[in-house]
Amino acid sequence: MARKRKGEKIDGWVVIDKPYEMGSTKVVGKCRYLTKAQKAGHAGTLDPLATGVLPIAFGEATKTIPFLMDARKQYRFTVTWGEERTTDDLEGDITEKNDVRPTEKDIEIILPSFTGIIRQRPPAFSAIKIDGKRAYDLAREGIEVEIKEREVEIFDLKLIESNETDATFEVECSKGTYVRSLGRDMARKMGAFGYISMLRRTKVGPFGESDTISLEKLEELVHSAPLEGWILNVVTVLDDILALAVTEDQAAYLKNGGFIPSGEVAASNRTAGLYKAMLGEKIIALCEFKDDFLKPVRVFNL
C-alpha cells in the first residue's frame, strides 16, 4: 500500500517575484511552508542576487517543469564597467581593473556579435556539474576548473540606457544562457572589464512580470482566497501542445496506461509529437500517436 503524502494536494503554478538575496530553493521551501503543499519545485534557478520571474510548480504541475525549462527567457541587466570579478557579479572578488569606459556607440557596434547562436563559457561560480560536483562548490574550495564553452542562442539583445559607469540591457535568450558571462564577454569585446550589478528575469515562457506575486502576497492569498483564486492551471505551460478531446471512458483508459486506437480519437492530424488529452478543461495525459494507437507518455492525477 502506497504511503500517503503529508500536506495538501495542490496542483498548478504560482509565479513568484523572487526577492533579492534569497536563493531559489529557499523560495520553494517558503512556498511549500505557506501553502502546506505536498510537492513543489521551481522552473529555472535564479542567482541569490537576481530578482524576478520564478515559476513555482505544485503537485502534478511538477511534471510539466521540463517544458518551461526549455522555454525562452528574458532578462534586464546592468553591466558596471571598470572591474572583472570572480563571480562575474557583485558577490565576487575583484580580479581585473582598467579605466576603459565604453560609450553608447561602442556598445551598439558590438551588439550584433552577441546576437544569434554564440559560444560562451559559463562562470566558474555556476551550478554546472564537473565530475559530480557543482562548479561553485569547487570554486569556493579554491579548485580551478575548466568549464567548456557552450552554444546558446540570443534572440534579441538591446541597449536600454548607458552612462559613464554602467549600461543596462534587455535580452531574450535560450535555455542555458548565462547573463553573467554575456556581460563579461561584451565588456571584453570592447577592451573593458565589467560585471553584472543588476539582474532581473522578466519572462519565462508564458509567464511575465505581470503574472508574478510576492511571497507576502502569496501568504495573504493562502489565508484569504480560495485555491482557484491564486493557482494557475497545470496546462498553462503547455499552450504550444495540440489538444485532443477525449471521452470519460477514454480518459479513464489513458490514466491506467491503456492505448486507444487512433481511429477512435477525433484528431485533425496524427503527426509525430506530443498531444495533450483533455477531458473538458482538465488534462488527462500527454500522449503520442504510435503504431496506430494513442499512447500515454505522461499521466496526470488531477
For residues 288 and 275, the answer to whether their CB atoms sit within 8 Å is yes
The answer to whether residue 3 is domain-embedded is: no
pLDDT at residue number 1? 44
- Average pLDDT of the chain is 90
pLDDT over 80 at 124, yes or no: no
In a domain, 219, yes or no: yes
- CATH number of the domain at 64, please: 3.30.2350.10
Judge whether residue 86 has pLDDT over 80. yes
Among residues 235, 252, 279, which one ends one of the domains? 235
- In a domain? residue 216: yes
pLDDT (0 to 100) of residue 264: 85
Q: Which domain holds residue 227?
A: 12-70+206-235
Q: Which of 11, 47, 166, 211 is catalytic?
A: 47
Kindly compute the dihedral angle of the four CA atoms of residues 33, 37, 39, 40, in this order, to the nearest 10 degrees.
-60
Query: Is the domain of 132 the same as that of 224?
Result: no
pLDDT over threshold 70, residue 136: no
**195, 77: one domain:** yes
Shared domain check, 200 and 116? yes
pLDDT band at residue 215 under the 50/70/90 scheme: very high
Q: Are 97 and 181 in the same domain? A: yes
Examine the domain organization and report whether 287 and 270 are in the same domain. yes
- What end-to-end distance do the CA atoms of the chain give, in Å? 20
Question: Is residue 166 annotated as part of the catalytic site, yes or no?
Answer: no
Q: Please indicate, yes or no, whether residues 81 and 180 belong to a single structural domain of this protein.
A: yes
Number of domains forming the structure of the chain: 3
* Whether residues 26 and 98 fall in one domain: no
105 within domain boundaries: yes
82 and 193 housed in the same domain = yes
Q: Do 85 and 177 share a structural domain? A: yes
Query: Quick check: 4 pLDDT over 70?
Result: no
261, 218: one domain:
no
Whether residues 55 and 145 share a domain: the answer is no
Q: What is the mean pLDDT of residues 57-74?
A: 95
Whether residue 104 is found in the same domain as residue 180: yes
